[in-house]
Amino acid sequence: MRVPDSIRKCVVYLGIEIPDGDTTKIIWGGTGFLVGMPSEKIPQATFGYLVTAHHVAIKFKGRDFFIRVNLKDGGSFNLKAPKDAVQWFFHPNDAAADVAVCRLTPPDKVDFLGLPISMFLTEENRKAKGIGIGNEVFITGLFAHHKGNAKNIPIVRMGNVAMISEERVLTKDYGQMEAYLIELRSTGGISGSPVFVVEEIDPLDSKIHLMGLIHGHWYIHPETIIDYTIQDAGTKAGINVGVAIVTPASKILDVLNCDDLASWRQKAEADWLSKNSPTPDKQ
């Protein structure tokens, strides 16, 4: 399928600053994406959030990190996220959900797309729409081998739904995880990337939904590969089995709707209404 170019605008790169001789440099090692949640009371207002994997976000604990975004007039800009100013929110009751959310509304100069929550695929509407094994999927995120020098150039990789698991999937660091499995080659740096699934409405029409985000993938160890010969003993080897683990979009919604974030939105709306509601002599 032809993936709309605009879909890549939801992606940002996440990195940390490290020493580099007499100066410093930023290492970009993770993917995040932007979502927008419409206000229930402020006309045409949207609350912005940055979403990534929990295992990416915890690497930034206690330290500043950077968010690389593209600009409308070309090039990119590194938004600094000070450790004391950023609060990450995790799943309220599922410790195995590999998802993290923080509040973020990019400045006007940023060329971005905030994915609306109306795109989020829940298990209920997945069943209603008949989306399942075999449906096309694609991801877009950081390609560690070619990040782009002047701006973010997210890569797009495609595959299909391989398993709608009826039980939790055992993972290395998160134990038994509620997840989808997709046949698609994940790589380092792609963790936290949005996963989209294509709903085939008819042969001439389709619709894109946010299925979730990339948690990781499995490797085959070299010693288990038939006829495998190590050419360079100093090189870490292994083969990606081609199946990636997806944290469902419903888990992201759970975080967005957690008590702390819901209370913050309600307070922001109340503050706005107190300043903008008509008074009797204005009516």
Instruction: Kindly report, residue by residue over 130-177, the tens digit of the pLDDT.
Output: 999 999 999 999 877 776 777 888 989 999 999 997 889 988 889 999
Task: Return the pLDDT at 151.
Answer: 86
Query: What's the CATH architecture for 5-282?
Result: Beta Barrel (2.40)
113, 49, 164, 135 alpha-carbon torsion, rounded to 10°: 0
The predicted pLDDT at position 232 comes to 45
Residue 104 has pLDDT above 80, yes or no: yes
Average pLDDT, the chain: 87
**How far from the centroid of its chain's Cα atoms is residue 130's Cα?**
24
Residues 200/209, Cβ–Cβ less than 8 Å: no
Domain boundaries, the chain: 5-282
What is the reported pTM? 0.89
82: pLDDT strictly greater than 60: yes
* Residues 226 and 65 sit within 8 Å (Cβ to Cβ): no
d(CA 70, CA 94): 33
Residue 231 pLDDT grade (very low, low, confident, very high; cuts 50, 70, 90): very low
Position 229 pLDDT exceeds 50: no
Question: Is pLDDT of 256 > 70?
Answer: yes
pLDDT at 272 over 70: yes
**pLDDT at position 280, please?**
62
Mean pLDDT of 84-104: 95
Parallel, antiparallel, or unpaired for β 115-116 and 23-38? parallel
The helix (H) or strand (E) run that includes residue 253 is helix 249-256
Q: What is the mean pLDDT of residues 16-37?
A: 90
Give the pLDDT mean for 106-133: 94
Per the CB < 8 A criterion, the answer to whether 77 and 69 are in contact is yes
The residue among 278 and 128 whose pLDDT is bigger is 128
In total, the chain counts a number of residues equal to 283
Classify residue 22 as exposed, middle or buried by CB count within 10 Å of its CB (0-12, 13-18, 19+): exposed
